[in-house]
Amino acid sequence: MEDYVIEMLHITKEFPGIIANDDITLQLKRGEIHALLGENGAGKSTLMSVLFGLYTPEKGVIKKDGKEVKISNPNDATDLGIGMVHQHFMLVDIFSVLDNIILGSEPSKFGFLTKEEARAKVIRLSEKYNLKVDPDAMVEDITVGMQQRVEILKMLYRDNEVLIFDEPTAVLTPQEIDELMKIMKELAAEGKSILFITHKLNEIMEVADRCSILRKGKYIGTVDVANTTKEELSSMMVGRNVKFAVDKAPANPGKEVLKVENVCVKSKIHSNDSVHNVSFNVRAGEIVCIAGIDGNGQTEFVGALTGLDDISSGKITLCGEDVTKKSIRYKNTHGMSHVPEDRHKHGLVLDYTLEENMILQRYFQPAFQKGGLIKKKEMRQYSDRLASAFDVRSGQGARTIVRSMSGGNQQKAIVAREMDRDHELLVAVQPTRGLDVGAIEYIHEEIVKERDNGKAILLVSLELDEVMNLSDRILVMYEGEIVGEVDPKQTTLQELGLYMSGAKRDNGKEAN
């Protein structure tokens, strides 16, 4: 008999109008890394929520160490030693790292916190697993990568033996991903069992022992990763063969659409500029990509470009017009579309319906309002059209509250909205973050189509594959400056990596 830590047998979970999990069986062996693969909305997160006690399934049983258990809330899951790193971290921003780790199982004596013991344990764990964190830093001040390490430490601190990672690499830089993979392998070697939810095939091939595939709520199969290929996995996941490379003709750049001159942005944290003297241009019909490791000023630059943040000096010209000091509304209506980096913070009003979100920047235009009254019918039609054109899936169509949609479909909704708006320039920041290969393929094709229609595209991405595949020119940003411009056809990942880490700069000089 196999030694299974967790068995989920014949799980069925329904939502109004939808079967999110249809008779799914998942068996996790002790000490293995088991990948759970599926498209956006295939039912992965629902299944994990069932395991974590957030949902109660209609049918099916869960077994722990061969014994049937009932998990009706997250506390039950924690008691059984199941821990989860959520896709969107569950951390208290204004607490320190240590406070976040002990939150929920605070050590105390006579009602007073005794943090010293906890601190020692956290430091011990972080050294043992090479999870570098500063226990006293505020969570709001640390990088996304470090926040994730905090989440992992949280599970280790509770001595969890089953660790669930819900799309852990979606927000990480390539280096951080490598590090995470190493950590996961170490954890598995220590006897922890890991469930790894993802739709990135490279990662599965690299770390997972076995992989279970879901498609549209149904269980497709479980394979040994050693005996499979990326192509096989992807066709099992999507139900068809997927192209990994983007087909595109050479760019045919036209007039200059965006011109950025000596833009500086003051940092909110330190006294230096977070963006320093950035100058470049984007022409119609080309895709220019800003590559770089997260936290090198890309966010701040896009903030200044789109108007979300203040610009301290420099000039931005859009379609020949100086828009440096113009409002967001003005830029929105004069040729700029923006797929924001953080879809929950900026891109969507989560408690609005899909249709209301679809007209977020257009509700005041004559197409959608008359005399101050919103034209509900037009809004509905518009939303339905975009949803079907961009394959945005939702439980109740246009009336679905966006909060209840999966991350991938939320992202597709934003991309659909931004691409459909009148624009000359599309600023897309991490447009495929958290999407599955099918959706990525689709969005990449759309971006190339946009380019071929003569739009200018500024892509900001942390995914090197995306950068190399999609762009016509690559600008590398390091510590707030553009340190180099390369042609994707003539460069290598290694060269890009050197630029990104600050080891190389244009004008030939080697730094340091």
Partner 1 sequence: MGEKISFFRRPAVQTIIASILCAVLGIFIGYIILLTMNAEHATEGMQAIITNFFKFSGNSTVLMKYMGSFLVKSMPLILCAEAILFAYKAGLFNIGAAGQYTVGIIASLYCSLALGWNWFLCVVAAIAAGALWGFMAGLLKAYFNVNEVIAGIMLNWIGLYLCNIIIGGEKCMNQTKSETFDIVSVNPSAILPGFIQDFFGGNKYTTIAIPATIIIAIAILVVLNKTTFGYELKATGHNKEAAKYAGMNAKRNIILTLVISGAISGFAASQFYLTGMEHYTISASVPGMGFSGIAVAFLGGLHPIGTIFAGLFVEYITLGGQYLNTNYYNPQVADLVIAIIIYLCGFVLFFKTLVNRPAKVKVNANAEPATKSAKAEEKEV
Binding site residues, partner 1, CB under 8 A: 15-20, 40-46, 49, 54-56, 216-218, 306, 308, 327-333, 338, 340, 345-352, 356, 360-361, 363-364, 369, 372-374, 376, 393-397, 399, 403-407, 409
Which CB sits closer to partner 1, 276 or 331?
331
DSSP 410-459: HHHHHHHHHHHS--SEEEEESTTTT--HHHHHHHHHHHHHHHHTT-EEEE
Q: How far is the CB of 195 from partner 1 (least distance, A)?
A: 15
Residue type for position 302: V
How many other C-beta atoms are found inside a 10 Å radius of the C-beta of residue 174? 18
Rg of the chain's alpha carbons, rounded to an integer? 24
Q: Please say whether the beta carbons of 208 and 230 come within 8 A.
A: no
Q: How far is the CB of 365 from partner 1 (least distance, A)?
A: 10
Which CB sits closer to partner 1, 46 or 212?
46
Q: How far apart are CA 356 and CA 509, in angstroms?
A: 52
Q: How far is the CB of 260 from partner 1 (least distance, A)?
A: 20
Q: Please say whether the beta carbons of 74 and 54 come within 8 A.
A: yes
Q: How far is the CB of 53 from partner 1 (least distance, A)?
A: 10
Q: Please say whether the beta carbons of 291 and 474 come within 8 A.
A: yes
Q: How far is the CB of 125 from partner 1 (least distance, A)?
A: 29
Q: How far apart are CA 290 and CA 428, in angstroms?
A: 10
Q: How far apart are CA 357 and CA 350, in angstroms?
A: 8
Q: How far is the CB of 434 from partner 1 (least distance, A)?
A: 12
Which CB sits closer to partner 1, 254 or 364?
364
Which CB sits closer to partner 1, 138 or 350?
350
Q: How far is the CB of 280 from partner 1 (least distance, A)?
A: 23
Three-state DSSP state, 496: helix
Which CB sits closer to partner 1, 207 or 413?
413
Residue with token string 């899909």: 354
Q: How far apart are CA 365 and CA 388, in angstroms?
A: 22
**50 Cβ neighbours under 8 A, 6+ residues apart:** 8, 11, 13, 21, 56, 57, 62, 71
Which CB sits closer to partner 1, 393 or 504?
393
Instruction: Name the β-bridge partners of 24.
Output: 11
Among the listed residues 260, 254, 425, 420, the one whose alpha carbon sits nearest the alpha carbon of residue 334: 425
Which CB sits closer to partner 1, 126 or 212?
212
Instruction: Find the helix packing angle between 230-238 and 437-452, rounded to 10°.
Output: 90
Q: How far is the CB of 166 from partner 1 (least distance, A)?
A: 10
Which CB sits closer to partner 1, 17 or 320?
17
Q: How far is the CB of 310 from partner 1 (least distance, A)?
A: 12
Q: Token pair of 113, please?
A: 């916190």
Q: How far is the CB of 449 from partner 1 (least distance, A)?
A: 23
Residue with token string 């002790």: 30
Which CB sits closer to partner 1, 64 or 412?
412
Three-state DSSP state, 215: strand
Q: How far is the CB of 250 from partner 1 (least distance, A)?
A: 34
Q: Please say whether the beta carbons of 79 and 105 come within 8 A.
A: no
- DSSP E strands in 31-153: the ranges are 33-37, 59-64, 67-69, 82-85, 108-109, 112-113
Which CB sits closer to partner 1, 200 or 343?
343
Cα torsion 293, 295, 297, 303: sign = positive
Which CB sits closer to partner 1, 125 or 171?
171
Which CB sits closer to partner 1, 62 or 474?
62
**250 Cβ neighbours under 8 A, 6+ residues apart:** none
Q: How far is the CB of 175 from partner 1 (least distance, A)?
A: 28
State the maximum Cα–Cα separation within the chain, in Å, rounded to a whole number.
72
